[in-house]
Structure 1
Amino acid sequence: MTLIGAILKKAQSKESVSRRYSSPPPEIKEDVIIKKKKKLLVHKFAHVKPAVDSSPPRYTPALMLRSLPVYHRQLLHTYQENIRLLMAIKRMHFLRGKVDCWRKEPPHTATEQYYKNRMHFLKQVQNENENMYWRIVNSKARVASTASLRKHWRRNRCQILHRAQAPFVLFPPVPQQIVEDAAFAPPAGVKRPRVFLSLRIRNGAVLGDLTAELFTDVCPRTCELFLALLNGDGLGHGYVGTCFFRKVPNLYWSGGDVIHNSGYGCYAQRGRLMPIGAENYHFPHSMPGLLSMRVSSDDEVCGIFNITFKPLPQFDLRNVVFGRIIRPCKTYEAIRELGSPLSTRPIVEMTAARHRVDGRWVYGQPNTKI
């Protein structure tokens, strides 16, 4: 081997290059050297663990409540401010005042809308208070004043004295008659007579008067017999002084026995040779408050009459309806609850009777035969 060949071989070896040359010879490629350096850097710090965690932190609510000095001071300041505001609000409430905010400095942009709303509310409250004040000042008192009451009393006192000196005139209201069946209403152009019967309890109180209307246009002979006994026939027979011998509550009353006063007598009219028979059965017992004359089994009318308190169809063709009681009547309502079908007590008598004839009153004579 020649000398030149040995020198070149030595130069191409790794030891010579690493010892004698600080930079690679020109013939060595640069990308190979860069790869070697990178491999050396990576492997050099591979055993070292990182001191700072580079991963994103997890969200924990407890971290938001950490007691850092700044946050702690801000929290105490806010708490104390809220306490002061609360005490001021309660003080104004106890003093019967309205709470509102007053700010001298202009508000921030974030709270400007809230501030304007509060100011608008304040103006509205002030306007309402002003309107209420003027209404209270200008409104009149609802309670009458003493001067007006005295004025009214003087006027009323003068009217009382004036009316006390005037003659007393009573205008009783005209009661509306109760007629359940229109067949009993008087026909046009016919004026039926009315009689008044006074009732009382024997050795007791007065019950009142009954007003009866007689159907003289339908039953003239039966009405004539009733009027004759009502006035008295001159021989001592009459309804005045007789009692109702049968009283069935809420059904009917029977009376008018001028002979025995017990329901067993039969009156024969003076001057009549034949007894009076049933005139007709024109009206039925279709409503309460009717007057009917009893007809015996021999077809005789003896003056005994009934006052009904309800419709009694069982009386038809056995009694002649010749009148009705004018209702409403307090006496009629009082007597309908009295009596008992098994007892004669209380004894109710007819104490007086009257009716008008040619503009004058005719009063019945008392019965002297019983």
Structure 2
Amino acid sequence: MTLIDAILKAENDEERKYKSPPPEIDESFQSVKIKRPHKYAHVQAKVDSSPPRYVHSHKIHELETWSRWFDDLFKENVSMLTLIRQAHFLKGRVDSHWHRRPIRPMQHYWNRVDFLKRVHRENLMLYNLIITTPSRLPTTVELNRDWVRNKRKIVMQANNKFVLFSPVPYEEMEDQAFKAAPDVKRPRVYIKLGMQDGAAIGELCIELFTEVCPNTCNLFLDLLDGDTLGHGYVHTCFFRKVPHLYWSGGDVIYNNGYGCYAQRGRVIPIGAENYHYPHSMAGLVSMRVTVDDEMCGMFNITFKPLPQLDLRNVVFGRVIRPSNTYNIIREMGNALSSRPVIEIWASRRKVDGRWVRGAPNTKLPKSPVSWNLK
């Protein structure tokens, strides 16, 4: 396109752009501002007080600083480990413990000198222990004394008569005060125990101290044989069983420890006859005494010395031991539970050469223990 053509085209464009003269401008119209509605006028302002969201990219610019810190810390740890390892191989012997640093060729020499001194000191300590520590083995004097005693015992036993089984069974009795006098013959009764609706446990042999407590023993024997009114120990249970401590039983009225039996033909109940024997060994049989100084036929079987029962229970017999049944019932029971229910299944004693067996109790009500077992 030539210059003339460009000028002509520009003139034509101006004529096409301004086809009519411009309108007259009114100054009063310019002073008035026209308010047009804003595009977001319907949007209300909202204040957000929550913290800004975490953006991982904002921390990228500090990565270089953190990387430098990490490298410095890693180098410091490596140097520290190197020093620790070096001190370990040197066994703590570093140059700093000398007052003056020796020349380098002499360091190994001084290390060897210190090592020899330490070994010599340890040898002296070991030697002192060997000299001063007494022997754990018996001395020759002690062995000779033991041999003389054993030899005397062997010769004495060899001169005695050989007996495979002792003709008189040995009875366990920790307190010899309960041993009967030579001219006193004490009666013995046998009580068979068993679990309610279960198997039998065994039989206990009880020796009665009739020469000390005659009235208490008579009450016990009357209930053991059974009176003609239907009261008796047979088919009653032990209502309190504390293992390794004691058992309580013999309630012929309610079978739970709350009854009190009045012996037939007595207007005045039996009181505490005496407190001659203490509860000083295991296997004793004692009768309980109420607060009103009355004995109701309930008795205890002890499994250890119980001085706390003294002056509250009258000791009138003992269990003949050793006894497997006694050892079994000593492990049984629970102070907080009535199970297992242990009953007196049967009783027997010898009177004038014949056996008298106890009559069962027919006056017992149906106890809650029986209801629970059903």
TM-score by length of 1: 0.53
SS at match of 1:233: coil
* Partner in structure 2 of residue 307 of structure 1: 301
Task: Give, in angstroms, the shift of residue 173 of structure 1.
Answer: 6.6
Task: Give, in angstroms, the shift of residue 172 of structure 1.
Answer: 10
Q: Does 1:207 align with 2:201?
A: yes
Rounded Cα–Cα distance in structure 2 between residues aligned with 1:174 and 1:256: 32
Task: Give, in angstroms, the shift of residue 175 of structure 1.
Answer: 2.9
Rounded Cα–Cα distance in structure 2 between residues aligned with 1:277 and 1:237: 20
* Partner in structure 1 of residue 191 of structure 2: 197
In structure 2, give the amino acid aligned to 1:245. F
Instruction: Identify unmatched segments of 5+ residues in structure 2.
Output: 1-164, 365-374
Task: Give, in angstroms, the shift of residue 188 of structure 1.
Answer: 1.3
* Partner in structure 2 of residue 161 of structure 1: none
Q: Equivalences for 1:192-271 in 2 at 5 Å?
A: 192-271=186-265
* Partner in structure 2 of residue 35 of structure 1: none
* Partner in structure 1 of residue 283 of structure 2: 289
Rounded Cα–Cα distance in structure 2 between residues aligned with 1:180 and 1:245: 28
Identify if the C-alpha distance between structure 1 residues 172 and 349 changes in structure 2 by more than 3 Å, giving closer, same or farther.
farther
TM-score by length of 2: 0.53
SS at match of 2:350: strand
Identify if the C-alpha distance between structure 1 residues 366 and 172 changes in structure 2 by more than 3 Å, giving closer, same or farther.
farther
Q: Does 1:328 align with 2:328?
A: no
Q: Which of 170, 176, 192 is the matching residue for 1:176?
A: 170
Q: Does 1:278 align with 2:272?
A: yes
Q: Which of 314, 336, 339 is the matching residue for 1:342?
A: 336
* Partner in structure 2 of residue 358 of structure 1: 352
In structure 2, give the amino acid aligned to 1:264. Y
After superposition, what is the alpha-carbon deviation per residue over 1:343-370, rounded to whole angstroms, capped at 9, x for unaligned?
0000000000000001010000000001
**Residues 293, 303 of structure 1: 8 Å contact kept:** yes
**Residues 199, 348 of structure 1: 8 Å contact kept:** yes
Task: Give, in angstroms, the shift of residue 324 of structure 1.
Answer: 0.1
Task: Give, in angstroms, the shift of residue 174 of structure 1.
Answer: 4.7
In structure 1, give the amino acid aligned to 2:327. E
Q: Equivalences for 1:29-108 in 2 at 5 Å?
A: none
Identify if the C-alpha distance between structure 1 residues 227 and 318 changes in structure 2 by more than 3 Å, giving closer, same or farther.
same
Identify if the C-alpha distance between structure 1 residues 172 and 202 changes in structure 2 by more than 3 Å, giving closer, same or farther.
farther
SS at match of 1:343: coil
Instruction: Identify unmatched segments of 5+ residues in structure 1.
Output: 1-170
**Residues 293, 304 of structure 1: 8 Å contact kept:** yes
Rounded Cα–Cα distance in structure 1 between residues aligned with 2:166 and 2:361: 34
After superposition, what is the alpha-carbon deviation per residue over 1:270-316, rounded to whole angstroms, capped at 9, x for unaligned?
11001100000000000000000000000000000000000000000
Q: CA RMSD in A?
A: 1.2
Rounded Cα–Cα distance in structure 1 between residues aligned with 2:320 and 2:167: 15
**Residues 309, 336 of structure 1: 8 Å contact kept:** yes
After superposition, what is the alpha-carbon deviation per residue over 1:130-157, rounded to whole angstroms, capped at 9, x for unaligned?
xxxxxxxxxxxxxxxxxxxxxxxxxxxx
Aligned length: 200
Rounded Cα–Cα distance in structure 2 between residues aligned with 1:235 and 1:268: 12
SS at match of 1:303: coil
**Residues 175, 328 of structure 1: 8 Å contact kept:** no
Percent of paired sites with the same residue: 69
After superposition, what is the alpha-carbon deviation per residue over 1:48-92, rounded to whole angstroms, capped at 9, x for unaligned?
xxxxxxxxxxxxxxxxxxxxxxxxxxxxxxxxxxxxxxxxxxxxx
Identify if the C-alpha distance between structure 1 residues 248 and 210 changes in structure 2 by more than 3 Å, giving closer, same or farther.
same
Rounded Cα–Cα distance in structure 1 between residues aligned with 2:199 and 2:285: 24
* Partner in structure 1 of residue 151 of structure 2: none
